[in-house]
Structure 1
Amino acid sequence: MIRILLAEDDDSMREYLARALDRSGYAVTAVDRGTAALPLLERETFDLLLTDIVMPEMDGIELAQRAAVIAPAMRVMFITGFAAVALKGGAAPPTAKVLSKPFHLRDLVMEVDRMFEVGNAAGV
């Protein structure tokens, strides 16, 4: 089963995304900030880091940079309402995907499916 680490500081958005991905067959571990994600990355293996960019304590770009050192094979997808501004300057990993808010859950699941070449987007 594909394991996703979701870092999103908005409680309702985090629950909404985790539920949709879980229903689509992914194993989701959700945290409310980047600093909470780091210890999990050091202890467990995840296939995808799905992170908001703008979060308190540590933004998603810094989280992705640190995650790349801990788990270089893990894929990264950013979810953000500030994509154009936040990703300037090439600070994000070059292979990272970006999904701009607002988006439909179906779009999120399709993008994740595409990253892992999974054909199951039904039920969302």
Structure 2
Amino acid sequence: MIRILLAEDDDSMREYLARALERSGYSVKSVDRGTAALPLLEHESFDLLLTDIVMPEMDGIELAQRANVIAPNMRVMFITGFAAVTLKPGSTPPDAKVLSKPFHLRDLVLEVDRMFQVGSATEL
């Protein structure tokens, strides 16, 4: 089973995303900030880091950079509500994806499915 670490500071969004991904067959562990994700990355194995970019304490870009050192084979997908956020080349892991809010849950699941070449998303 594909394991996802979700870092999202908005409680309702985090629960909403985790539930949709779990319903689609993914194993999801979620945290409310980047600093809470680091110990999990050090002690557990994940296939995907799904992180908001703008969070308190540690933003998603810094989290992804640190995660890339800890788990270089883990994939990264950023979610953001700030269209003006641009990712500088070299500042994020190669092949990192960006999904801008608002998005439909089906779009998120389809993007994750594509990353792992899983069958198409179920109706959400």
**TM-score, length basis structure 2:** 0.95
Stretches of structure 2 lacking an aligned partner (at least 5 in a row): none
Distance in 2 of aligned mates of 1:30 and 1:2: 14
Q: Do structure 1's residue 48 and structure 2's residue 48 form an aligned pair?
A: yes
User: What's the secondary structure of 1:78's corresponding residue?
Assistant: strand
Stretches of structure 1 lacking an aligned partner (at least 5 in a row): none
17-26 vs 74-83, which moves further? 74-83
Distance in 2 of aligned mates of 1:53 and 1:23: 24
**How far has the Cα of 1:86 moved from its partner?**
4.0
User: What's the secondary structure of 1:91's corresponding residue?
Assistant: coil
- Contact 1:24–1:120 (8 Å) recurs in 2: no
Q: 1:83 to 1:77 in 2, by over 3 A?
A: farther
Distance in 2 of aligned mates of 1:117 and 1:22: 17
**TM-score, length basis structure 1:** 0.95
Which of the two has greater helix per residue? 1
Q: Who is 1:64 aligned against?
A: 64
Distance in 2 of aligned mates of 1:49 and 1:13: 16
RMSD: 1.2
22-31 vs 74-83, which moves further? 74-83
- Number of matched residues? 124
User: What's the secondary structure of 1:85's corresponding residue?
Assistant: coil
Distance in 1 of aligned mates of 2:83 and 2:49: 16
69-78 vs 81-90, which moves further? 81-90
Q: Do structure 1's residue 7 and structure 2's residue 7 form an aligned pair?
A: yes
Detail structure 1 runs of 4+ shifted over 3 Å in the superposition.
Answer: none
- Contact 1:23–1:123 (8 Å) recurs in 2: no
71-80 vs 82-91, which moves further? 82-91
**How far has the Cα of 1:109 moved from its partner?**
0.1
Q: Do structure 1's residue 25 and structure 2's residue 25 form an aligned pair?
A: yes
**How far has the Cα of 1:85 moved from its partner?**
2.2
User: What's the secondary structure of 1:77's corresponding residue?
Assistant: strand
- Contact 1:83–1:98 (8 Å) recurs in 2: no
Identity of aligned residues (%): 85
